[in-house]
Structure 1
Amino acid sequence: MNPGEDGPLRFGWWEDVVTDHADLRSALAAASRRTRDVDEDIGVVPPLSLPQSDLLPATAAMGALVGGPYLRSHARGWEVAPGKTLDARHFLGRLHELADIVAEVMPGTDRLMVHVSGPWTFGASVEYRGHPLCFDRPAFRDIALSLGEGVKEFCDAVGASVVHVHERRLGEVASRLQGATEFETMQVDREVAVNVERRFIEQVRGGGERSVIFDSGVEWPEVTHTGADCIVVDGLTDSVARMVDGGASVAWRVDDGQTSEDIARSVIRTWRQWTFDVATPEPQVDLVAVGEGILKPGAAAELARTVRGAAALLHRN
Structure 2
Amino acid sequence: MTRYAWWEDLVTDHRDLRAALAAASRRTRDVDEDVGELPPLSVPRSAVDGGPLVETAAMGVLVGGPYLRSHSRGWEIAPGKTLDMRAFLGRQHELTDIIAETMPGADRLMVHVVGPWTFGASVEYKGHPLCFDRPAFRDVALALGEGIREFCDAVGASVVHVHERRLPEITTRLEGATEFETMSVDREIAVNVERRFIGQVCEGPDREAVLDAGAVWPELTLTGATSLVVDELTDDVARVIDGGASVAWRVHGGSSDEVARRVIRTWRQWTFDAATPEPQIDLVAVGDGVLTPGAAAELARTVRGAAELLHRN
Moved more, 171-180 or 55-64: 55-64
**Equivalent AA in structure 2 for residue 96 of structure 1:** H
Following TM superposition, the consecutive aligned residue runs of length 4 or more in structure 1 with deviations greater than 6 angstroms are none
Q: Which residue of 2 aligns with 1:81?
A: 78
Given that residues 14 and 48 in structure 1 are in contact (C-alpha distance below 8 angstroms), is that contact kept between their aligned partners in structure 2?
A: yes
Displacement of 1:281 in angstroms is 6.1
Match of 1:236 in 2: 233
Among 252, 272, 294, the residue aligned to 1:276: 272
Deviation for aligned residue 1:57: 2.1
The worse-fitting range, judged by mean Cα deviation, of 236-245 and 269-278 is 269-278
> 1:27: which partner in 2?
20
Task: Give the Cα separation in 2 of the matches to 1:49 and 1:69.
Answer: 25
Matched letter for residue 15 of structure 1: E
* Pairwise CA distance, 1:64: 2.9
Displacement of 1:32 in angstroms is 0.7
Contact conserved, 2:238 with 2:270, CA < 8 A, in 1? yes
Is residue 59 from structure 1 mapped to residue 71 from structure 2 by the alignment?
A: no
Residue correspondence of structure 1 range 1-317 to structure 2 within 5 A: 8-54=1-47, 57-62=51-56, 63-66=59-62, 67-256=64-253, 258-280=254-276, 282-317=278-313
- Give, in whole Å, the separation in 2 of the partners of 1:235 and 1:227: 22
Whole-Å Cα distance in 2 between the matches of residues 65 and 157 of structure 1? 14
C-alpha distance in 1 between matches for 2:52 and 2:36: 31
Shift of 1:26: 1.1
The amino acid of 2:73's aligned partner reads R
> Does structure 2 retain, via aligned residues, the 8 Å contact 1:162–1:213?
yes
Aligned length: 309
Distance in 2, Cα, partners of 1:68 & 1:278: 45
CA contact (8 A) 2:52 2:112 kept: no
Q: Is the 8 A contact 2:172 2:185 kept in 1?
A: yes
- Amino acid of the structure 2 residue aligned with 1:50: V
**Distance in 2 (alpha carbons) for counterparts of 1:204 and 1:157:** 13
Give the TM-score of the pair, scaled to structure 1: 0.95
- RMSD value over aligned CA atoms? 1.2
Q: How much has 1:37 moved relative to structure 2?
A: 1.4
Helix, strand or coil: the match of 1:58?
helix
Report the secondary structure of 2:142's partner residue. helix
Q: Which runs of 5+ in 1 are unaligned?
A: 1-7
- Whether the 8 Å contact between 1:72 and 1:80 is mirrored in structure 2 is yes
Q: Secondary structure at the match of 2:55?
A: coil
Q: Could you tell me whether the CA contact under 8 Å between 1:14 and 1:287 is conserved in 2?
A: yes
**Matched letter for residue 28 of structure 2:** T
Identity of aligned residues (%): 73
**Contact 1:60-1:116 within 8 A present in 2 as well:** no
d(CA) in 1 for partners of 2:221, 2:61: 27
Task: Report if the CA contact (8 A) 1:65-1:149 is conserved.
Answer: no
Letter of the structure 1 residue corresponding to residue 78 of structure 2 = A
Post-superposition CA distance 1:29-54 (Å, at most 9, x none): 11111001111000110000011122
Secondary structure of the structure 2 residue equivalent to 1:293: strand
Distance 1:168 1:77, change over 3 A: same
SS of the residue corresponding to residue 37 of structure 2 reads: coil
Distance in 2, Cα, partners of 1:295 & 1:241:
32
CA distance in 2 between counterparts of 1:134 and 1:263 reads 38
Partners of 1:99 and 1:38 in 2: CA distance:
25
Matching residue of 1:4: none
Are the equivalent residues in 2 in contact too, given 1:233–1:252 (CA < 8 A)?
yes
Q: In 2, distance between residues paired with 1:74 and 1:60?
A: 13
Deviates more, 1:143-152 or 1:18-27: 18-27
Unmatched 5+ residue regions in structure 2? none
Q: Confirm or deny: 8 A CA contact 1:61 1:115 kept in the other structure.
A: no
Distance 2:128 2:205 in 1: 35
Kept in 1: contact 2:230–2:249 (CA 8 A) = yes
